[in-house]
Copies of this chain bind each other. A is one copy, B any other.
Amino acid sequence: MVHKDIPQRSHCPVNYALEAVGDRWSLIVMRDILLNGKFRFRDLMGAEENIASNILSERLTRLASLGIIKKIRDPDDGRQFVYLATAKGEALMGVVLELGSWGAEFDPKTDAPPGTPDNYRADRSAIITGALEAYHAMKPRFSNKQE
């Protein structure tokens, strides 16, 4: 199933984005894929925010159906799947970093190192590009892709 017929509330681009990833978990999943090197179900389950397995399962299916991630069977272990960002998913890097910058600025107990928001604002595009390069460097590659 590639298309779900969910009626859209509007065609405002902000609304489109929020309908796609504007829930409590989708961008946590994208953060873990894009930034934290978590590509498998059990890795994503291990997020400190404690997502429930049924919710994670549904979100992965949904993100794949929206073309934001793709599910690839691990050729070395048929039990495992790897979830990777598509181009559409990689384009969420800016959203994730912008949210992180905002959170780092306003959470008094933030885990982010001091100066994070200043660094980010000093050159957003360079930091986004750098983060995408780091993602490409660590994402797993398989010779033959499936599913």
Binding site for B on A (CB under 8 A): 8-20, 22-24, 27-28, 31, 48-50, 88, 91-92, 94-96, 98-107, 109-112, 116, 121, 124-125
Contacts and interface: CB of A to CB of B under 8 A. Distances in A.
Contacts of A100: 12-14, 17
B88 A106 contact: yes
Contact of A91 (B31, B102, B116): B102
Contacts of A22: 22-24, 27
A6 to B, nearest CB: 12
A109 to B, nearest CB: 5
Contacts of A18: 24, 27-28, 99
Nearest to A109: B11
B101 A13 contact: yes
A99 B27 CA distance: 12
